[in-house]
Amino acid sequence: MHAFNKMSLSFIKPGLLDTVQDIGRIGYGNWGINPGGAMDPYALQVANMLVGNCCTEAVIEIHFPGPQILFEQNVMIAVTGADFTPMLNDEAIPLWHPVIARKNTLLHFPELNYGSRCYLSVHGGICAEKWLNSYSTNLKAVVGGYKGQPLKKGDELRLKENTIYFAGLLPEEKNLRILPWQADVRNVYHHQNEILITKGNEWENLKSDSQRQVFENNFVILPLSDRMGYHLKGSSLALDHPMELLSTAVNFGTLQLLPDGQLIVLMADHQTTGGYPRIGHVISAHLPKLAQLCPGDNLHFKITDIETAEKLLISQQQELKILQRACLAHLNEMVC
Amino acid sequence: MYRIYSIGDAGITLDMGNQIDEKLNRKILAIQQWLLMHRFEGLKDVIASYCAVSVLYDPFVIKSRYLFSSSVFEFVKQKLEEAWLQSEAGNEENVEPVISIPVCYDEEFGRDLAYISKEKNLSIDQIIQLHSSKIYYVYMIGFLPGFSYLAEVDEKLIIPRKPKPVPVIAGSVGIAGSQTGIYSLNCPGGWQIIGRTPLKLFDAAASPPVVLQAGNKVRFYAISKKEFLSGNS
């Protein structure tokens, strides 16, 4: 009898919060459906690029404590983002590198070194539930990703077909092979606690004292923070006169002033609209490093303008394009 | 008549004020429709609210595809200005059928009825009568998948939202200020709850997944607890 070859990975032990994510569910805000997607969009994109995937493929977003994942066949994977000391069986694997792993090896994350969430990509991509054109998990609506839920013990994610014969690329006695190309991400995550913002529409309505405090404060990220938003603790801020705002659209990175004088930074699972004063907006190029800050970490804000924010984002994206081309070239060379 | 400002480096808002006004909202919806029918590359989403419309966009895509020397913000701002000029607000006379929503106003489902009754000096029957005798305009969908913002309630029913949110069950009908709306999912909420509808306002499997959209007209009608539980309305 011919053994059926399972193309999948299994969750032997669940982590704190592991969900299938992609670049988000774009274009449905008018139905109140928020885009969601990866908290660290840069790490997600690099994870896919390193293994030669299209940037729209799904990955697994992993928090700490991480899961134990068994690969049911040979795979090429990459782990990016936070450093949770990823290991295949008893061997450490580097972040930001593609790695070929042998069938039946176990990926696990024994220690937290740095960061808040990491991303696991698999060459070829993960099979997941697509809802409204996206694999992202919408936990509130319980749809998308893996049945709209976090991954639990015993869950199996099927992998898409891929054409590379990995067995031929693994040295005989070895369980893994680290491929030599990698992403240099130092620029993206350095000065991690300094977050650039542009002014929000209600910035002018802040008392001048409060405006000063936005930049002088060392804010602490509170434990209450999650994928929806980072609750910050700092001196109480106030508007110069009370405002009752009707809801308008907000975005990933919007800083809202809550009634108690504290700030919240909206993150990946933010609602589509909100009625709190918009004090500022974190620049897109700084969302990846913001997403890697943890409860208990400090951050401080610095002001910038739209032109600078755009330049930083565009140059970050241009470098990603170069990385993508390089990864594809290396991959082609390897398999030919 | 409007202001345009950025919401970060990947979003822009055209803002016509901070008021609940049907005519203004129809203009907002027209601008939204125009933008969706004249999409530019890099446009990610167009979100309409009471009196503002926002465009979320990808600056890198726009910079890569189009030739211009200004900021991407200025590029998109121009598109918004064009949308403002070219779009025409729909007429009230474009008659869409009024959508009827059954609501069970029983105190088991409307746990803030007693509070409203006391605060506003109205009997529960009066609350039900006032809430269900108006035709409301749907100004926007936001906050949650399928959560609808309807306005305006009769001035005798105007009541502020709760200072802190509490768990709310999907289908709950609430009032906040002069708005009324329906919670489409179980979630924490601050609106004053006066009843519940058996209708699913959001269903991920349906196409479209939401029942109400901005620009719709809605009327509520009372059903008994028996009708609610039997699923007949």
Chain B residues within an 8 Å CB radius of A34: 145
Mean pLDDT of the A116-139 span: 97
Whether residue A256 is found in the same domain as residue A331 = no
pLDDT at position A163 over 80: no
Whether residue A33 is found in the same domain as residue A124 = yes
In a domain, A69, yes or no: yes
Q: Are A112 and A86 in contact (CB under 8 A)?
A: no
Of A140, A247, A318, nearest to B187 by CB-CB distance is A140
Mean pLDDT of the A9-34 span: 97
Whether residue A156 is found in the same domain as residue A290 = no
Mean pLDDT of the B167-188 span: 96
Mean pLDDT of the A232-241 span: 96
Mean pLDDT of the B44-53 span: 98
pLDDT for res B33: 96
Instruction: Kindly determine whether residue A141 and residue B47, on different chains, have CB atoms separated by under 8 Å.
Output: no
pLDDT for res A3: 43
Please give the domain boundaries of chain B with CATH numbers for all domains. Answer: 3-86 (3.30.1360.40), 99-230 (2.40.100.10)
Q: Number of folded domains in chain A?
A: 2
Which residues, listed in sequence order, are joined to residue A303 by a DSSP beta bridge? A197
Residues 9-48 of A with CB under 8 A from B: 26-35
Give the span between the Cα atoms of B107 and B104, in whole angstroms: 9
Instruction: Kindly determine whether residue A31 and residue B149, on different chains, have CB atoms separated by under 8 Å.
Output: no
Which residue of A247, A252, A265 is the best one to mutate when testing the B interface, meaning the one whose CB has the most B CBs within 10 A?
A247
Please list, in sequence order, all residues whose beta carbon lies within 8 angstroms of the beta carbon of residue B87, skipping any fewer than 6 positions away: B27, B30, B31, B33, B34
In a domain, A2, yes or no: no
The nearest CA of chain A is from the CA of B6 a distance in Å of: 7
pLDDT at position B91 over 80: no
pLDDT for res A244: 87
Which residues, listed in sequence order, are joined to residue A134 by a DSSP beta bridge? A131
In a domain, A311, yes or no: no
Closest chain B CA to residue A28:
B45
In SS3 terms, chain B reads as CCEEEECCCCEEEEECCCCCCHHHHHHHHHHHHHHHHCCCCCEEEEEECCCEEEEEECHHHHHHHCCCCCCHHHHHHHHHHHHHHHCCCCCCCCCCCCEEEEEECCCCCCCCHHHHHHHHCCCHHHHHHHHHCCEEEEEEECCCCCCEEEECCCHHHCECCCCCCEEECCCEEEEEECEEEECCCCEEECCEEEEECCCCCECCCCCCCECCCCCCEEEEEECCHHHHHHCCC
In a domain, A224, yes or no: yes
Instruction: Kindly determine whether residue A26 and residue B45, on different chains, have CB atoms separated by under 8 Å.
Output: yes
pLDDT for res A224: 94
In a domain, A126, yes or no: yes
Assess A329–B contact: CB distance below 8 Å, yes or no. no
Mean pLDDT of the B72-98 span: 88
What is the value of pTM for the model shown?
0.95
Instruction: Kindly determine whether residue A32 and residue B52, on different chains, have CB atoms separated by under 8 Å.
Output: no
Assess A314–B contact: CB distance below 8 Å, yes or no. yes
Percent of chain A with pLDDT over 70: 99
Whether residue A12 is found in the same domain as residue A150 = yes
Q: How far is CA A88 from the centre of its chain?
A: 22
Whether residue A180 is found in the same domain as residue A47 = yes
**Residue located via tokens 């669940």:** A14
- DSSP three-state, residue A2: coil
pLDDT for res A336: 77
Q: Which domain holds residue A30?
A: 8-189+323-335
- Asked, as a colleague might, if the bond just before A65 is cis with ω within 30 of 0, I would say yes
The CA angle A205-A209-A213, to the nearest 5 degrees, is 100
Of A32, A283, A309, nearest to B141 by CB-CB distance is A32
In eight-state DSSP terms, residue A52 is: T
Whether residue A182 is found in the same domain as residue A202 = no
Closest chain A CA to residue B142:
A32
Which residue of A197, A251, A260, A316 is the best one to mutate when testing the B interface, meaning the one whose CB has the most B CBs within 10 A?
A251
Which of the residue ranges A14-23, A104-113, B5-14, B162-171 would you say has the lowest mean pLDDT? Answer: B162-171
Mean pLDDT of the B96-107 span: 94
Q: What is the CATH number of the domain that holds A236?
A: 2.40.100.10
Tens digit of each residue's pLDDT (9 = 90 or more) over B102-146: 999 999 999 999 999 999 999 999 999 999 999 999 999 999 999
Q: Residue A4 — very low, low, confident or very high, per pLDDT cuts 50/70/90?
A: low
Chain A residues within an 8 Å CB radius of B210: 31-32
Chain A residues within an 8 Å CB radius of B149: 247
The nearest CA of chain B is from the CA of A310 a distance in Å of: 6
Whether residue A64 is found in the same domain as residue A211 = no
Whether residue A152 is found in the same domain as residue A216 = no
pLDDT at position A76 over 70: yes
Of A26, A34, A246, nearest to B51 by CB-CB distance is A246
Give the span between the Cα atoms of A271 and A249, in whole angstroms: 9
Whether residue A207 is found in the same domain as residue A292 = yes
Q: DSSP per residue over A192-228, as a string?
A: TTEEEEEE-TTGGGB-HHHHHHHHH--EEE-TT--SS
Instruction: Kindly determine whether residue B209 and residue A31, on different chains, have CB atoms separated by under 8 Å.
Output: yes
Whether residue A51 is found in the same domain as residue A139 = yes
Assess A187–B contact: CB distance below 8 Å, yes or no. no
Instruction: Kindly determine whether residue B47 and residue A142, on different chains, have CB atoms separated by under 8 Å.
Output: no
Chain A residues within an 8 Å CB radius of B187: 140
Helix axes A41-50, A306-335, angle to 10 degrees: 20
In a domain, A21, yes or no: yes
pLDDT at position A104 over 70: yes
The nearest CA of chain B is from the CA of A78 a distance in Å of: 25
Give the span between the Cα atoms of A204 and B154, in whole angstroms: 34
- For chain B, the average pLDDT equals 94
Whether residue A210 is found in the same domain as residue A141 = no
pLDDT for res B217: 96
pLDDT at position B45 over 90: yes
Tens digit of each residue's pLDDT (9 = 90 or more) over A134-146: 999 999 999 999 9
Tens digit of each residue's pLDDT (9 = 90 or more) over A252-294: 999 999 999 999 999 999 999 999 999 999 999 999 999 999 9
Instruction: Kindly determine whether residue B210 and residue A31, on different chains, have CB atoms separated by under 8 Å.
Output: yes
Q: Residue B163 — very low, low, confident or very high, per pLDDT cuts 50/70/90?
A: confident
User: B164 or A256: whose pLDDT is higher?
Assistant: A256
Instruction: Kindly determine whether residue B7 and residue A131, on different chains, have CB atoms separated by under 8 Å.
Output: no
Give the span between the Cα atoms of B48 and B32, in whole angstroms: 7
pLDDT for res B233: 46
Mean pLDDT of the B222-226 span: 95
Q: Residue B232 — very low, low, confident or very high, per pLDDT cuts 50/70/90?
A: low
In a domain, A134, yes or no: yes
Chain B residues within an 8 Å CB radius of A132: 209
The nearest CA of chain A is from the CA of B45 a distance in Å of: 5
Assess A332–B contact: CB distance below 8 Å, yes or no. no
Q: Residue A2 — very low, low, confident or very high, per pLDDT cuts 50/70/90?
A: very low
Q: How far is CA A314 from the centre of its chain?
A: 19
In a domain, A315, yes or no: no
Whether residue A199 is found in the same domain as residue A221 = yes
